[in-house]
Amino acid sequence: MKIRDILGNLEGVTTHVAAGEDVEITRGFVGDLLSFVMGSAPEKALWVTIQNHVNVAAVALLKEVPLVLLASGRVPSLELKDQCHKEGIALASVNMDSFEVCGRLFAMGVRN
Amino acid sequence: MNPLSRQEPYVIQREVKPLDFLAAGETASDFKETLKSLGIPPEICRKASIVTYEAEMNAVIHGGGGIIALELAGDRITIVASDEGPGIENVSLAMQEGYTTAPDSIRELGFGAGMGLPNIKKYSDELEIETELGKGTTLRAVILLDPSGEEVSDLCRTV
């Protein structure tokens, strides 16, 4: 599923950085412990987290995450937004909490 | 002989500043791009970048900054992280997943989950840690370019 379709199908989305809208995503990961994400997330998966600081971009870059979804309406720090823009990582906030976001993504066909 | 083996070692090193979360991860990203540009297989680049990232974060959070070096020679990549921080009091405990000495302020950012050294061990083929209380820590992690058939070993030594 393309990033544009994923964002279009979720409710309460605020896009902070639009990037790679035609990139296909089949996998997803959820986690707020950065080392857990580093060690366990598959590459090229979208990432659902409530962490909104700049190091999210560092981890996303290393794991080749094309889309970061900040759950529970978390607003990214300015540094995170800038870094995602610089690295071409799509960044959006979703009003739903992580559990509900993951449920919606699973229903769309995104798997771990 | 591994086709990726090199006669001349390739070495780069970067300085990591203490508590500089803005720059944290840049060394890992830099090393990953370097290895990719040298034609190292993606899976090996991935392992090296995870090891570097964790070593980098340890230097940022605990080590008072440090130096991270990447060496590519022969059949292996070696990542050496040196700091002049407080040292690790109990290496065996620090190697256990979930054990952490990070303060709450760091943990709230999603760091300090006690997975740094376990991740480094998981993604390295060899790991050696030399640490001395009050003097610092040097971590040497080896990632083999062709890990097939090699046994994973680790050697942790407290001076």
Fold of A3-107: 3.40.1390
Task: For residue A68, give how far its alpha carbon lies from the nearest alpha carbon of chain B (Å).
Answer: 15
Tally of CA atoms within 13 A in the half-sphere of B3 that contains its CB: 4
Of B24, B32, B116, the CB nearest to A35: B116
Q: CA B115 to CA A20: how far, in whole Å? A: 31
| B144 DSSP 8-state letter | E
ipTM over 0.95: no
Q: For residue range B72-130, list pLDDT tens digits in order.
A: 999 999 999 999 999 999 999 999 999 999 999 999 999 989 999 999 999 999 999 99
Q: For residue range A7-52, list pLDDT tens digits in order.
A: 999 999 999 999 999 999 999 999 999 999 998 999 999 999 999 9
For residue B90, CA distances in Å to B20, B114, B135 come to 25, 13, 14
- All residues of chain B having their beta carbon less than 8 Å from the beta carbon of residue A54 are 21-22
Task: Check CB contact under 8 Å for A55 and B24.
Answer: yes
Domain layout of chain A by residue ranges: 3-107
- All residues of chain B having their beta carbon less than 8 Å from the beta carbon of residue A79 are 22
Q: CA B90 to CA B99: how far, in whole Å? A: 11
More confident residue, B157 or A41: A41
- All residues of chain B having their beta carbon less than 8 Å from the beta carbon of residue A49 are 110
Ordered structural domains, chain B, with CATH? 10-158 (3.30.565.10)
Of B25, B115, B122, the CB nearest to A62: B25
Closest CA to A43 of A56, A26, A31: A26
Global pTM? 0.88
- Could you give the angle at which helices B116-123 and B42-61 cross, rounded to 10 degrees? 150
**Whole-number pLDDT of residue B148:** 76
- All residues of chain A having their beta carbon less than 8 Å from the beta carbon of residue B119 are 35, 38-39
